[in-house]
Structure formats: structure tokens, C-alpha cells
């Protein structure tokens, strides 16, 4: 495989696929639609997990673990949820293999080992969890129940893409139970805010917070709160969702509690999740034709130091200086890699770390030793500066912060430049077909209109923004009255 | 359910099951053999994971993630491994459900959605991983490959017990590839040492390091290095295993590399794992008739503070003092819970934290405020002391260290007291049938003898200890010559 990436403007989709593989993030596996997350990609996920998990715990949530399998009878209990996921379920029907009598050395499913009840590999865990909560909740004192699970889930998608849509993916799913409707709605909104904070402050990915229309809502939810980001190719990415589930699962699994007043009441629920899909969003928000660009807060390696040397003696002197600088960087919590491999030239190393999106690259050569300098290059702008060694640590520290801010600002500017208000269906179609991006337009609030627009343009309503202002307008398709604009886009 | 636990000497197995449920660690789920790990149990697992993961990274390993499913054709490629796991595999045969035409509102497996090739839910990941490594390894420069995965696996066990043996469990599985046999053997032994260090230094659970006999070896391994612990009921627990896999998987998946000398050679492999089973071992090593006893290093809550008060005013004053002390404790990295619930009396809280194994309990009442004192109780010995508030933090700090050491020493003493050298089969049977424990005896080295002893006594060879001394002896069953003693026990 060539080292060079396809350019984004040539073929964005090809660029993405190549980048994911060449930057050593992930690859397709022998299992249809399932990916292997390689160490470098997984290290990004670990950084994401650590931050998100901290945010969950700070908002009072605890982790737990529920079974991978959902018995069919539980799976089908909440009808809308079941209907939404039934078409993409991996189903376990047998629990044993045996030697194939017709095929020596091969195995076959043992027909005697058929399960009485089939098991669905969880596409999401509401059913198994609410069946469990039934035993945990008796009184208002047991509420709220604020639980999160880090897990793998499986949805048998027909068209898959690394990170963005895979049959198996890693995610977290929060499942909370509340005594009142208001409290559950507040929880769902709080987690939307947590997701938005994470996306913006760590991923440097600006998002619009909003609520989904009826037809885009999670199967089994009353309301789905979403964060929507805009990718470089003008398509939207749903980056995280938080659902107010009403009492649907409480009814389906008969989960009631005794209120302070001694009455039996059904419990109110939320669920919310983000997944390894976020890594796809991270890539498509910041990366360029040279490869991955990572915000410092999520970069597994924040600083790479490359020695420029001839012979062992020079390398040794450089190594001494580097050890000094990198131990100071490490003491400040900055992750540093010193790449002294003798099998690659410096230029090849530079290209490799550009491809892998390491935010700051330091080069230190023999002349630098004489002059007490080193060269610092930033990945986001490719700017280089010659710096005194004594200033290196403070310059790098500031630079990491600056890159984090710059990536967010750049992405926000892109998003704002590619958000268009339109007031006619002609303009709508033109924008969607040419520039793409977020299109802010009036809509009459009906499923029918939404579906018609989707049919005609492939654009869907990404969300009704939380901060949409009241404004009298007319639906771009039907001309019927509308009181606020919604955000349309083609989406991943 | 009664608050009181069954006593260990009455029924150890019942005591264990009750403890797991009452201490809120885990419970059985609606899925046969699969457990729900409750927040308190999961918090212990998180603490374990954090430490183990750090140890892996310090020894040069990186995390990655491989698919949940293994296509049958890959699964059967390494014959011994396949044979070892075939009888306990959950198998996915279909990828869709549909409405059941005969049963309104119900779903059934869609017969049209049968997979061309069945997918095995991973019981272990050698097959899928070595199929992937084939693409990653070309040259000696790609070696060693040192990778670990945190994941869920499924083994369709017929008799299951919470944590100890469940159909689905959480674990880590390391999978490494090496250029030479020696290096792979060293790696397998290194990981055995890492496991032993973790067991002894964090779990306070003494272990014997040794190697498995042929018949107890992992399916597909050349050698299985194990750590074996002794539970309070005299049964052994295999707590972690590290396998030298030879070139078996390299042959099965045709994984070769070009050596420095330019030759094509097969790669050498190891794999190694510990699982949520460790939590079962932790429980059965330290806990007592009052409930769980946790070593401080793995306790989610290390110190609980219970206020003894009448009325709001007293509580407020106590709270002020507690806030001061607990923020000092927290600044030292000690996890503290202040339990000011007004729905439970202090005595009930004491019982709850005894059940949950919190290492140190602090009580602070109105009289203590006047006297500048507080009461500190340790969970392991139930000893209490009255301490000046100004000394509280240093006393607690020391106490946590002392408890950690004491638990290990106590467990080690128990293990030593219950390890018996025997030289005749009569004595062997008597010990196994009465006291149990580890029995150190000579064995002639054959499968046949091992199986016969198992048949007659239910005891198995736990391991041939690494530090077994050379000693001429006679096999307890056959009288044939033997050069060292091995460890027998009944096992979980």
C-alpha cells in the first residue's frame, strides 16, 4: 500500500478509509462488518473512556455490567424497541459444536444442542437491564438509580465503515430510573450536556444540541436528545444521544415503586450512549491530506522527539539532553515518545508522526546541541520554530493548549461557514446538492413532510436545536406555518 | 432475605452465594449462567483492572480490541484448541428476527436470515487474533508483538457459580508473538510473575507458581504456567494462567516472519488471562461470617465515617469535623464515604459496612466532639480504638497498610497450615477427604496415574511448583520413581 493518502477533495470516503488503516487505527476483520481496533486506535478510545467515565462519576453515576445476551422473550417485551432492532440482531440458537461426521477435522453445530429460547446478542441493553431493575426497585428510596455500562453491542448493519458503522462496536450505555418525569427529563438533558462538553472540550468538535424529530427518535423513547457535528465533507454525524424513555420500559417490565405517599407508581427512565463512532467523528473533524490530526487532550502521544544524528556518539549526547527534557515534560503529565529507531531516517519518522497526528514534534540534532536549541513543529498548522532548550518545556506546554483551542476554533468556523439558512425548497435542494453542510429551515412538524424531503434530497432532520429562536416562518416544502427552524443535513 | 449470613462452617457454598448477593456484588440474571455484576462488585473489578492494566503497560504491552465473533472455519483451524472449547460454544446462526405470523406481538428467528457460516461467540480469542496477526507480522522487526485485550467471553458451562464459573465472564487476554522460543517462554513466565505479584500485593492472596501437568494444560498450549491459591474451605482456585503456545497457532494460521538472516520462520506465541473469577478468589480468601473482607488496595470504599447524633444541630457540627478529616484523607488518595443517611441507625450502618467489607470504619459522636476524639474500627480483626482527631489521618493511613499486610499474612498462614506433605496413598486420601488443602506428593508423571487419582479422590494436580526441590521419591499411587513433589487439591 502506498504511503500517500488519497486527497480529501478527490474522494473523501476513500481518504477516510485509507487514513484509518494507514494511521494504524483499525482494520476490517475476518468477520463481516466487525473491526479490529489496533493499539493506536484503542489508545485513543482509552483516553476518551477515561475522560467520559470521570464525567459520569462526577455526575453521580456508577458502573455495572449486564449480560451480553437477551432472551427473546425479554427482547420483545417493549414492542417499539424490539421492532426497531429486530431486523439487525445476531441470534444465538445453539450452545455446542461437534465433529462433523461428513467432514473430518471440521466442526458443525450440534443439532441436539438447540436452545429452548433463542438469545439475542444485545444491540442495546434496555430490555435486560429493566428486567433486572424490577428486582432492585421497590421504594422511592431506591431512586434515582444512576448506572452506566461499558460494553460491546452488535447490530447487523448491511453497509459498514470502520468506526462509523460496524456490526460490533464498543460503547457506554447509561440506564437510569427516576421517581418523577421531570427528574428523568432533567437527567436526559444533563447527559446531553455532558456529551456536548466532552465533544467540544476534549474532541475539539463543536456540536449542536437539539432534540430529534419523531421519525429519527430512538425506538422506545419519548424524546431523543442529540449532539450533532458537521464533518469536513458537509455531512452530519450524530455523535451521541440521550433518551427520555418515559414509562415505556417500566410498563413493559412492570417496574413500580412505592412513593413517599405510599402509592404504587411506574418508574421513569432514561438511557444514553456514545460509542467508538466518536473516533470516526474525531478523524473527520480535524484530519487533513497528510493524515490524522489529534487534539492534544486525546492524543496517546502528545510529543514525539526525533534525534538527527550521525553515529553513536552524537546519538548518545542527544539522548542525554532528550532524557532531561522528556522527564520534565512527563512530570507535567505530558506523554512523550523518543523515537531513536535506527531503521528509519528522520524524514520518514516525520511523515509517520504526521500520519498518526502527533500534535507536537521536536527535532534535536548535533548543531542544536552546540547552539542549545531545538526545533518544534506543530501538526495542525505545520509551523516550525527554533527554541532555546531551556524554554522547550514551557513552549510545548503552551503549544499543546494552543493547538487544542485552534482545532476547536477552526472546526467551529468551518461549521459556521457551512450552516446556511434557507427559506425556499429550491434553495434547500441547491445547498444540499452542492455545498452540503447544516441547513437551517422551517418545517411544518409532520412526519410526512420530513419523509418527503428525505426522499427528494436524502437530507434528514438532524435536530430541532435547543436554542432555536421562536420565529414565524413557512415550511420549505408545504408552506404551512412553522414557529422555529430545524437543522437538516445529509448524515453518516 | 434475612440479613444474617449462613455460617461458613455450616455450609461454605451457601455462605459464599449469600455473601455475593447480600454484599451487593453480583446476582444471577435472566440468562442461564450469566451474571449481573452490581455497582459495588464492578467497582472492585475496576480497581483490579486499573492495577493489572498498569502492570501490563509497564511490561511493554498495549491494549487492542478484536471481534466478539469467530467464524467457524477459523475456530476449527487449531484443532486442539477447537476440540477443547467446541462443547461449550454459544453459536450465532441467524442475523435477523421477524414478526411471528402464528403469534401476534411476538418475534421469531427469520429463517431467511441464516448465516452462510456460523459464528462462535469467543470463548477465547487465539483463533481470531492469530488470523489477524498473519497480516501484521512479516519481518523480525514486527516482533515481539505484545498485545492485551479487555473483553467478555462466553463458555457454555453447565454448572455455574457467581464469579467463579459463569457462562459469560469479563477478563483480559494477552496474546503475544515472538521470534524465538526462548523469548516466548520468558514472556509466558513473566506474565505468571505479574499475576502472582498482583495476587499477593493487591489481593493479599498468596499463590503457588507452577506449571500444569499435561492433562490440565490449556487446549492448544505446550505449557501452561499457573498461579494457584487456597480457599478457606480447603479447595484450590486456579487464579490466572499464562500459556506458552509454541508454534501451534502460527502453523494453524500460517504466520511466518523473515528472520534477520533472511529465513522464513514460524512465529512463537503466548497467551495469558485473568478474569472476574479473581473476585471469587478475593471473597473466599479473606471474608468471614460477618461478610466481605476487602484488602485496602482493592476496596472501593477504604474508610466509612458514620455520625452518631441526635438532631440537626449535632449532625451539622459533626459534618464540619468530618469534612475536614475526609478532605485530608482524600488528599492522600484514600477513598472515604460519609454516611449521613437519616433513614438508618448507626448500628444498622455498621452491619452494612461489615457485610460490604469496608476496611476501616470511623464513628464520630457528640461526646467525641467535646473530647476531640473519634472511634476507629478495623474490619479484619474488629478491633476498635479511641483516637485523637488530630491523629486520625495518620492512624488511618497506617491502619490501611497494616490491614493489607495482616490479610496477606493470615491467608499465608492458613495456606501453610493447610499444605501437607504425604508419602502414602492412604494418607493422601485421608487428608483430601478430611482437611483438604494443598497436598504435596510424589507422582510418576503419567496421565494415567493422574486420572486414576482424580477418579479415586476428586483431587487433581494443581501444578508442579516452580520452586519444587529435586528429591528422590516414589509415586503415591504406583510407587514408581519421582524426582519432585507436585501439588494436589480438590479445586473450584
ipTM: 0.97
CATH assignment, B419-489: 3.30.110.30
CA distance A460 to A449: 11
What's the CA gap between A179 and B207, in Å, rounded?
48
Give me the residue from A64, A71, A141 closest to B38, CB to CB. Answer: A64
A38, A76, A90 member nearest B64 (Cβ): A38
pLDDT digits (tens, 9 = 90+) for A290-324: 999 999 999 999 999 999 999 999 999 999 999 99
Looking at the predicted structure, is the pLDDT value of residue A1 above 60?
no
Q: What is the 3-state secondary structure (H, E, C) of A345-397?
A: CHHHHHHHHHHCCCCEEEEEEHHHHHHCEEEEEECCCCCEEEEEHHHHHHHHH
pLDDT tens digits for range A160-194: 999 999 999 999 999 999 999 999 999 999 999 99
Q: Is A31 within 8 Å of B119 when comparing Cβ atoms?
A: yes
Which of 1.10.275.10, 3.40.50.300, 3.30.930.10, 3.40.50.10470 would CATH assign to domain A12-67+131-286? 3.30.930.10
For chain B, which residues score pLDDT lower than 50? 1
DSSP 3-state of A313: helix
Q: What's the pTM value of the predicted model, to 2 decimals?
A: 0.97
Of B147, B141, B160, B6, whose CA–CA distance to B66 is shortest?
Answer: B147
Looking at residue A267, what DSSP letter applies?
P
* CA nearest to B365, candidates B321, B307, B304, B305: B307
CATH code, residues B12-286: 3.30.930.10
> What is the fold, at CATH topology level, of the domain defined by A301-401?
Rossmann fold (3.40.50)
Q: Could you tell me whether strands A268-275 and A256-258 are parallel, antiparallel, or unpaired per DSSP bridges?
A: unpaired
CA dist A197 and A194 (Å) reads 5
CB contact under 8 A, B36 and A106: no
Tell me the pLDDT tens digit for each residue of A420-458.
999 999 999 999 999 999 999 999 999 999 999 999 999
* Nearest chain A CA: its distance from B73 CA (Å): 8
Calculate how close chain B gets to A182, using CA atoms only, in Å: 24
Q: Is the pLDDT of residue A279 over 90?
A: yes
Query: Is A351 an interface residue toward B (CB < 8 Å)?
Result: no
Question: Does residue B121 belong to the interface with chain A, where contact is any CB pair within 8 Å?
Answer: yes
A193-248 pLDDT per residue, tens:
999 999 999 999 999 999 999 999 999 999 999 999 999 999 999 999 999 999 99
Query: Looking at the complex, does the CB of residue B369 fall below 8 Å from at least one CB of chain A?
Result: no
Judging by beta carbons within 10 Å of its beta carbon (0-12, 13-18, 19+), is residue A448 exposed, middle or buried?
A: exposed
Return the pLDDT at A4. Answer: 86
- Find out whether B228 and B238 touch, Cβ atoms under 8 Å: yes
CA distance, residue B361 to nearest chain A CA (Å): 22
CB contact under 8 A, B29 and A132: yes
Output the pLDDT for position A105: 87
CB atoms A39 and B91 under 8 Å? no
Contact predicate B463/B417, CB 8 Å:
no
CA of A158: which chain B residue's CA is closest? B95
Give the per-residue pLDDT at A2.
58
- Are the Cβ atoms of B93 and A98 closer than 8 angstroms? no
> Nearest Cβ partner of A147 from B29, B39, B141?
B39
Is cis: bond before A39, omega within 30 of 0?
A: no
Give the distance from CA A201 to its chain's centroid.
Answer: 14
Residue B174, CB half-sphere, CA atoms under 13 Å: how many? 34
> What are the sequence ranges of the domains in chain A?
12-67+131-286, 301-401, 419-489
Residues in Cβ contact with A415 at an 8 Å cutoff, skipping those fewer than 6 apart: A206, A229, A230, A437, A438
The cell numbers describing B28, all together, are 444471577
Amino acid at each position: 500500500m502506498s504511503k500517500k493518502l488519497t486527497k480529501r477533495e478527490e474522494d473523501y470516503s476513500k481518504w477516510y478509509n485509507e487514513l484509518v488503516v494507514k494511521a494504524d487505527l483499525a482494520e476490517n476483520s475476518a468477520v463481516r462488518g466487525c473491526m479490529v481496533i489496533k493499539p493506536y486506535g484503542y489508545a485513543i478510545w482509552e483516553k476518551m473512556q477515561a475522560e467520559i467515565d470521570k464525567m459520569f462519576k462526577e455526575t453521580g453515576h456508577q458502573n455495572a455490567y449486564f449480560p451480553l445476551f437477551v432472551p427473546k422473550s425479554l427482547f420483545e417485551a417493549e414492542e417499539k424497541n424490539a421492532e426497531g432492532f429486530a431486523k439487525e440482531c445476531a441470534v444465538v440458537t445453539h450452545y455446542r459444536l461437534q465433529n462433523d461426521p461428513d467432514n473430518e477435522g471440521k466442526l458443525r453445530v450440534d443439532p441436539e444442542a438447540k436452545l429452548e429460547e433463542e438469545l439475542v446478542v444485545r444491540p442495546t441493553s434496555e430490555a435486560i437491564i429493566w428486567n433486572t431493575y424490577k428486582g432492585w426497585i421497590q421504594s422511592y428510596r431506591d431512586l434515582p438509580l444512576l448506572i452506566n455500562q461499558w460494553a460491546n453491542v452488535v447490530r447487523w448493519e448491511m453497509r459498514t465503515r470502520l468506526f462509523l458503522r460496524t456490526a460490533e462496536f464498543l460503547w457506554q450505555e447509561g440506564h437510569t430510573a427516576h421517581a418523577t418525569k421531570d427528574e428523568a427529563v432533567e437527567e436526559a438533558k444533563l447527559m446531553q450536556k455532558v456529551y456536548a462538553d466532552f465533544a467540544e472540550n476534549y474532541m475539539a468538535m463543536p456540536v449542536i444540541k437539539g432534540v430529534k424529530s419523531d421519525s429519527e427518535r430512538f425506538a422506545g423513547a419519548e424524546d431523543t436528545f442529540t449532539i450533532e457535528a458537521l464533518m469536513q465533507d458537509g455531512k452530519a454525524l450524530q455523535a451521541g444521544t440521550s433518551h427520555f424513555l418515559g414509562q415505556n420500559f417500566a410498563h413493559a417490565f412492570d417496574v413500580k415503586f412505592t412513593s413517599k405517599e405510599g402509592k404504587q407508581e411506574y418508574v421513569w427512565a432514561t438511557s444514553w450512549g456514545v460509542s467508538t463512532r466518536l473516533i470516526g467523528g474525531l478523524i473527520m473533524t480535524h484530519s487533513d491530506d497528510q493524515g490524522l490530526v489529534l487534539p492534544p487532550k486525546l492524543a496517546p502521544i502528545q510529543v514525539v522527539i526525533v534525534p538527527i544524528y550521525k553515529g553513536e556518539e552524537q546519538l548518545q549526547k542527544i539522548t542525554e539532553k532528550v532524557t532531561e527534557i522528556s522527564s520534565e515534560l512527563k512530570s507535567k503529565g505530558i506523554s512523550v515518545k523518543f523515537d531513536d529507531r535506527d531503521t528509519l531516517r528522520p524524514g520518514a519518522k516525520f511523515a509517520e508522526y504526521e500520519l498518526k497526528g502527533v500534535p507536537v514534534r521536536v527535532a534535536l540534532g548535533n548543531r542544536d546541541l552546540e547552539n542549545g536549541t531545538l526545533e518544534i513543529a506543530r501538526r495542525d498548522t505545520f509551523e516550525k520554530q527554533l527554541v532555546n532548550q531551556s524554554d522547550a518545556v514551557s513552549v510545548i506546554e503552551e503549544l499543546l493548549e494552543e493547538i487544542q483551542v485552534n482545532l476547536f476554533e477552526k472546526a467551529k468556523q468551518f461549521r459556521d461557514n457551512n450552516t446556511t439558512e434557507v427559506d425556499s425548497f429550491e434553495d434547500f435542494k441547491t445547498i444540499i446538492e452542492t455545498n452540503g453542510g447544516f441547513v437551517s429551515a422551517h418545517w411544518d412538524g409532520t412526519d410526512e413532510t420530513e419523509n418527503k424531503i428525505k426522499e427528494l434530497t436524502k437530507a434528514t432532520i438532524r435536530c430541532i436545536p435547543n436554542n432555536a429562536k421562536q420565529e414565524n416562518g413557512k415550511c420549505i416544502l408545504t408552506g404551512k406555518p412553522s414557529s422555529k427552524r430545524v437543522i437538516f443535513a445529509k448524515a453518516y
